[in-house]
Amino acid sequence: MNAQQPVSRQKFLDVLIGVGLAAWAAAFVAPVLTYVWPSQRRGPGTQTASAGKVNEFVEWQTKVVAVGSHPVIVVRTPQGFRAYSAICTHLGCIVGWDVVRHQIACPCHAGYFDINGRPVAGPPPRPLAEYGIAVVKGEVLVKST
């Protein structure tokens, strides 16, 4: 018994070190694997966002979606989808949709933009920047161009 004790203690130490090293390796590999796994469908190169399914939109229905940190207004026209920066070119308010006039309207100073993003009434000095739209498998994707 007495002669065996140092041997078992030695074994115990070896096992501990082995388990420790294995844990260490796992703690290294786990974050690396999750890092490599894509965190979103597209990488950092293009900024794309989904505006939902095509059938969620009826004609002239709009939706404001975020592309990166930028709000974008998506409109379904009879000719197809259009997307514009939702930041008014006047003072930077977020624009909405005027159901009656069928125009993009700014709530702050009553600026109006037509369906081509051009300012038609009120103070906005410049047109709204247009965003690209792609309909992929029934999903409306907005991308910055």
CA distance linking residue 73 with residue 101, whole number of Å:
16
Q: Which residues between 9 and 68 bind other proteins (CB under 8 A)?
A: 10, 13-14, 16-17, 20, 23-24, 31-32, 34-37, 39-40, 43-45, 66, 68
Q: Which residues between 105 and 134 bind other proteins (CB under 8 A)?
A: 107-110, 121-123, 125
Residue count (the chain)? 145
Distances (CA, A) of 91 to 17, 69, 116, 134: 64, 18, 20, 29
Q: What value, to the nearest 5°, has the Cα angle with vertex 67 and ends 64 and 72?
A: 30
Of the pair 70, 143, the CB lying nearest other proteins is at 70
Residues at the site binding other proteins, with contacts judged by CB under 8 A: 10, 13-14, 16-17, 20, 23-24, 31-32, 34-37, 39-40, 43-45, 66, 68-71, 87, 91-94, 107-110, 121-123, 125
